[in-house]
Structure formats: C-alpha cells, structure tokens
Amino acid sequence: MNFLKKYKLSIIWALIMLLATTMKPGDEMPKIEIPYMDKIVHFGIFGVLGFLITYEKRRADLLTLALCAAFGAAIEVIQSFLPWRSFEWADMLADTLGALAGILVGKWLISFAKSRK
C-alpha cells in the first residue's frame, strides 16, 4: 500500500497513457498534419512518466528508464492486437528517449532543489 501512495501520480499517469494509447480514435477529431507529431506525443507523454517516477523516487536510475522502456514496449505489443492501432519500433524509441529526457529533467530539478537548501 505504501508503494501505491508513494507513486500515485506515476500510476495515475501510466493508466491515462494506457487508456489513451489503446482507445479507438474518433472520426470527428480534426486531422492536423504536423510531421512526426505521433513521435513528439510519445516523447512527451513518456517524458512526463520518467519525470514523475524520478521525482516521486527522489532519485534517477537506470531502473526507471528500463521500466519506462518496458511499459512503452508493452503498449506497442498491445496495440499490435488492436485493428485501429499498430506496432511501431520508432514509437518505442520515442518512448525511451522521452523517458530519458524526463528522468534527466527530474534529476536536475532534484539536485537544484537540494542546492537551494
């Protein structure tokens, strides 16, 4: 139970990510053509996840990166079974790089906060 309390923001964000990445997209949504927008979104949502885990742990480590990368891979595998989604290696790369960026930002903010005390 302590684990759920400690990582509640990360868990909530991961559940939102899972729902959003497996839902069937609505036809009524306007299509905005921005090159590589899908990869930018993957980078951003996994950046938030990497940051949240790092911030809640109060430290950065390779386990956080591995966890985020594995979660990204799991989402891609789930998407491969959905007729409205597809598996993409590039999405997994964007997920991992986004998580790494989020972890680095979290690490920097933690060290910045410690230096201000």
pLDDT at 18: 92
Global confidence as pTM:
0.87
**pLDDT attached to residue 21:** 87
| Domain-embedded: residue 31 | no
Q: 73 in a domain, yes or no?
A: yes
Contact assessment for residue 114 and residue 102, using Cβ atoms and an 8 Å cutoff: no
- Element of type H or E holding 85: none
In a domain, 49, yes or no: yes
Angle at 45 between CA 39 and CA 46, to 5 degrees: 90
Task: Please tell me the predicted confidence (pLDDT) of residue 34.
Answer: 82
pLDDT at 22 (0 to 100): 86
pLDDT at 29: 57
| Residue 14 forms part of a structural domain | no
Q: Which domain holds residue 72?
A: 38-117
Could you tell me if residue 65 is inside a domain?
yes
pLDDT of residue 2: 83
Say if residues 102 and 49 touch (Cβ distance below 8 Å): yes
User: What is the tally of structural domains in the chain?
Assistant: 1
**Residues of the chain predicted below pLDDT 70:** 26-31
- Burial of 78: CB neighbours in 10 Å, binned 0-12, 13-18, 19+: middle
